[in-house]
Structure 1
């Protein structure tokens, strides 16, 4: 079955701030600066932009437009439907590569949208080669090899097989040979060097073409990993590509939720589903219009912030609401309609991820479409 064109949340009718339960501000200027910093780190290598999952939940069309102003002309998405939607949004010009390759039978849709598949298997190569026979100029593609992650890409035996077939790449314009690092966020992990050596061996068997290995964290492993093209995603959006070290990227998102109601409770009051928390004394509470339907992970043990004051979550995260302990604020300081901060200066994406036992990628990619979205700095 072919992928249906992806529908970006940013394509929907805008939700007004008055109607929304939360406000998501996305700083396109920070994304542009992060791209400049990554490009500087790369030296002479080219820098693409990874826009899968609707630009990590922040709006692929808007992010692409901002990056194009910085000269970025190569984008990567995960799925064919994402590529079709992105092509419609940004028009002709930039190259768009589909990381997961093409589902069987969808090759003509990719051609119509001027998309470049990342070929991950001998079967995908055969299908793309067959499609290319109908075009005098051939069709572009990237070839991905599995250098040790065991996820996507031609296995070494497949690479050896196509290397022995003189007609394997007939009609295929190989733009890049690429692979993906499994442990780049751990600079001392031996898998990094092992994968680089495996990549060198495998790409030597394939048609000569520019090479691409580094993701966001891979860029910070140094020049031996840079090759001709890097493919940063998370770092563009402010996620720290060097865990354990100061974040070299600017923050990109500011997420605020509205207070729906405030109340006072007495000692012993059960709070939230299952009464998983009971008040240890008199408390002032606020309920915000925000929950796991908006992408905030239910397992999160976190807090919101208001006027530099931390407001802990109490009880379970609900589908559309979270209960906050606002006892540290002066009485009446927080009222219905006020905004509290969930992501921003007081709590980064990586901080929030740590409270949920996950990574910043999941936090951003989980953000829903019920927000009022503001784009600034673009």
Structure 2
């Protein structure tokens, strides 16, 4: 290749994104996110309804999701990491209250303060460091305290909570604006651990009588007002996932994903499909190859026959099972029973949507809807339906 040719290649710029060239089209309906938040807000009654937007709003885009919720009236947002919080602050401005669930990272107090972030403090060393920073700045900066009530993950233990409640110097240095805990089994409303945690949290809340309290996640918001306290913190329910393991989903679907048919091939009886030849045709068959794979977040565990499967897609109003192994960039589906006119190169199949729900895909993969959503890859063309379309009144 001549130097002139190389120069010409370097002069090219990427073309504008075109959905027709994408491996898949991922649509996020912000109106349905807002509708779900309003539904949860109604259930929470007098309690504040916050929004958990960590992990890029469960893979759907923290900034557009949070902006839609902010415009709808949400003011409290929970992220996991301070960097997530800083990006959100730049998008939402000063009015939003942004809480960092992973707490205060060592030596990073100035970053939190400079970006208006509120650490959720889970240990006495974190409380001590935040209090010392507040004294140095001569400002009583806001924070939350997380107390463990049985999950044994983040949070002060009960003895530490009692010690903190009695330490006026520590509490006086900062502005404690929330005491919180997290339910372990709220997705199963009948589990007795829910009531044990609620009772324990009520005792802890009494140690901080003037501080707002928060216990409920998505499922906790829906299982009863006794769990609401002063603030609820829904996450998965905002994004259309079922917060319950044993009840119909009360939330509206938010996400749809369509992948293109790359080719259709005919197999003789006995021929196999994919790596490992794990699927064998029991009859003359037609197979469609779709343009998405595990590099796009379509989990390899959805390979034939899947744990609770087979996994399905929908083409032309007909379900078609995923066959063979999920590859990096493609999957194969059996379209033998789909009319030929409905399946040809360029047609798009519903991989997630109203007929193939995120909870069904999670069941087939042997996982939860959280993992399905947060695994959605970066190669899709992402289309956002503006809030206001389909929102509950």
Q: TM-score, normalising length from structure 2?
A: 0.90
* Structure 1 equivalent of residue 327 of structure 2: 318
- Which of 271, 290, 314 aligns to 2:273? It is 271
Is 1:170 the counterpart of 2:161? The answer is no
Instruction: Identify the range of structure 1 (159-168 vs 227-236) with the bigger mean alpha-carbon deviation.
Output: 159-168
Q: Is the 8 A contact 1:39 1:46 kept in 2?
A: yes
- Which of 313, 317, 331 aligns to 2:340? It is 331
Map 1:192-271 → 2, pairs under 5 A: 192-206=194-208, 208-271=210-273
SS of residue in 1 equivalent to 2:179: strand
Is 1:367 the counterpart of 2:369? The answer is no
Q: CA deviation at 1:332?
A: 4.6
Query: C-alpha deviations, 1:2-41, integer Å up to 9, x for none?
Result: xxxxxxxxxxx98431221000011111111111111111
SS of residue in 2 equivalent to 1:116: strand
* Structure 2 equivalent of residue 36 of structure 1: 38
- Number of residues paired by the alignment? 366
- Which of 21, 24, 27 aligns to 1:22? It is 24
Query: C-alpha deviations, 1:60-91, integer Å up to 9, x for none?
Result: 10111111121100000011121112112222
Q: CA deviation at 1:242?
A: 3.3
* Structure 2 equivalent of residue 136 of structure 1: 138
* Structure 2 equivalent of residue 5 of structure 1: none
- Which of 335, 343, 348 aligns to 2:357? It is 348
* Structure 2 equivalent of residue 47 of structure 1: 49
> Which is helix-richer, 1 or 2?
2
Q: CA deviation at 1:309?
A: 0.4
CA distance in 2, matches of 1:129, 1:238: 39
Q: Tell which structure's C-alpha radius of gyration is larger.
A: 2
Q: Is the 8 A contact 2:272 2:279 kept in 1?
A: yes
* Structure 1 equivalent of residue 65 of structure 2: 63
Instruction: Identify the range of structure 1 (240-249 vs 113-122) with the bigger mean alpha-carbon deviation.
Output: 240-249
Q: Is the 8 A contact 1:289 1:320 kept in 2?
A: yes
CA distance in 2, matches of 1:324, 1:293: 18
Q: CA deviation at 1:136?
A: 3.3
* Structure 2 equivalent of residue 8 of structure 1: none
Unaligned runs of 5+ in 2: 1-14, 388-393
CA distance in 1, matches of 2:214, 2:234: 11
Instruction: Identify the range of structure 1 (260-269 vs 218-227) with the bigger mean alpha-carbon deviation.
Output: 260-269
Q: CA deviation at 1:207?
A: 6.3
* Structure 2 equivalent of residue 77 of structure 1: 79
Query: C-alpha deviations, 1:124-176, integer Å up to 9, x for none?
Result: 10111111113333110011100111011111121122233231223211111
Query: C-alpha deviations, 1:269-326, integer Å up to 9, x for none?
Result: 1211111111112111111110111111111231110122011111111111101111
Instruction: Identify the range of structure 1 (278-287 vs 24-33) with the bigger mean alpha-carbon deviation.
Output: 278-287
| 4+ runs deviating over 6 angstroms | none
Is 1:151 the counterpart of 2:160? The answer is no
Q: Is the 8 A contact 1:284 1:327 kept in 2?
A: yes
Instruction: Identify the range of structure 1 (364-373 vs 131-140) with the bigger mean alpha-carbon deviation.
Output: 131-140
Map 1:98-117 → 2, pairs under 5 A: 98-117=100-119
Is 1:293 the counterpart of 2:312? The answer is no
CA RMSD of aligned residues (A): 1.5
Q: CA deviation at 1:337?
A: 1.6
CA distance in 2, matches of 1:203, 1:14: 54
